[in-house]
Amino acid sequence: MNDRDRSDTPIAWHTLDAAEVARRLAADPQTGLAAAVVANRRQQFGANALPEGRGKSVVGMLVGQFTDFMILVLVAAAVVSGVVGEPQDAIAILIIVLLNAVVGVVQEYRAERALEALQQIAAPLATVRRDGQTRVLPATELVPGDIVLLEAGNGVPADLRLIEAEQLAADESALTGEAHVVDKNVETLTESELAPGDRRNLAFKGSLITRGRGAGVVFATGLDTELGRIATLLHGSEVIRTPLQKRLKRFGRRLAFAVLGVCAVIYGVGLLRGEPIVLMFLTAVSLAVAAIPEALPAVVTISLALGARKMSRSHALIRRLPAVETLGSVTYICADKTGTLTQNRMRAEFAQIGDERCESIDPDPAGRSGWLGVALALSNDVQQDDDAAPVGDPTETALFEFAAQNGYRKADLLVDHPRLREVPFESDTQRMTT
SS3 380: coil
CB atoms within 10 A of CB 24: 18
Backbone angles phi, psi at 98, to 5 degrees: -70, -40
Q: Give the pLDDT score at 293.
A: 73
CA distances from 125 to 172, 181, 214 (A): 18, 22, 16
CATH class for the region spanning 13-52+122-233: mainly beta
pTM over 0.75: no
Which of 3, 8, 336, 385 is the catalytic position? 336
Question: Across all residues in the chain, what is the average pLDDT?
Answer: 79
**If you average pLDDT over residues 191-201, what whole number do you get?**
86
- 116-125, 270-279, 386-395, 412-421: least confident range: 116-125
The residue among 223 and 113 whose pLDDT is bigger is 223
**Which band of pLDDT confidence, cut at 50, 70 and 90, is reported for residue 270?**
confident
Say which residues have a Cβ less than 8 Å from residue 22's Cβ, sequence separation at least 6.
28, 29, 163, 217
pLDDT of 199 higher than 50:
yes
* Cα-to-chain-centroid distance, residue 248: 30
DSSP 222: G
- 2-11, 83-92, 145-154: least confident range: 2-11
* % the chain with pLDDT above 90: 13
Q: Which helix (H) or strand (E) holds 214?
A: strand 208-220
* Residue 336 annotated among the catalytic residues of the structure: yes
Q: Give the pLDDT score at 421.
A: 80
Q: Where are the beta strands (DSSP E) in 241-364?
A: 351-353, 356-358
Q: Which helix (H) or strand (E) holds 302?
A: helix 296-312
Mind giving me the DSSP string for 90-157? Answer: HHHHHHHHHHHHHHHHHHHHHHHHHHHHH---S-SEEEEEETTEEEEEEGGG--TT-EEEEETTPBP-
Q: Give the pLDDT score at 285.
A: 72
Mind giving me the DSSP string for 161-211? Answer: EEEEEEEEEEE-HHHH---S-EE---PPP--SS--GGG-TTEE-TT-EEEE
Note the pLDDT tens digit of each residue in 176-187.
777 678 889 999
**If you average pLDDT over residues 90-114, what whole number do you get?**
78
Q: How do the domains of the chain map onto residue ranges?
A: 13-52+122-233, 58-118+241-298, 351-433
Mind giving me the DSSP string for 11-73? Answer: P-GGGS-HHHHHHHTT--TTT-B-HHHHHHHHHHH--SSPPPP-PPPHHHHHHHTT-SHHHHH
Note the pLDDT tens digit of each residue in 315-369.
676 767 777 777 777 888 777 655 556 666 778 888 887 777 888 887 777 777 7
Q: Which amino acid is at 288?
A: A
Backbone angle region of 419, left / alpha / beta, with phi > 0 → left and psi within -120 to 50 → alpha: beta
Q: Give the pLDDT score at 122.
A: 45
DSSP 419: -
Q: For the chain, what is the radius of gyration of the CA atoms? A: 31
pLDDT of 10 higher than 80:
no
CB atoms within 10 A of CB 67: 8
Note the pLDDT tens digit of each residue in 13-55.
989 998 999 999 999 999 999 999 999 999 999 888 877 656 6
pLDDT of 405 higher than 80:
yes
CA distances from 231 to 33, 34, 225, 239, 318 (A): 28, 31, 10, 16, 19
Q: Give the pLDDT score at 123.
A: 47
pLDDT of 159 higher than 90:
yes
Give the torsion sign (CA, 187, 193, 198, 202). Answer: positive
How far is it, in rounded angstroms, from Cα 119 to Cα 114?
Answer: 9
Residue 426, strand partner residues: 431
How far is it, in rounded angstroms, from Cα 332 to Cα 225?
Answer: 34
Note the pLDDT tens digit of each residue in 410-433.
888 888 888 888 776 666 677 777
Q: Give the pLDDT score at 256.
A: 79
Q: Give the pLDDT score at 3.
A: 47
Are residues 286 and 88 in contact, defined by beta-carbon separation less than 8 angstroms? no
Q: Give the pLDDT score at 383.
A: 75
* % the chain with pLDDT above 70: 85
**Which band of pLDDT confidence, cut at 50, 70 and 90, is reported for residue 4?**
very low
Torsion of CA 186, 383, 231, 143, to 10 degrees: -50
3-class secondary structure for 240-268?
Answer: CCCHHHHHHHHHHHHHHHHHHHHHHHHHH
pLDDT of 217 higher than 50:
yes
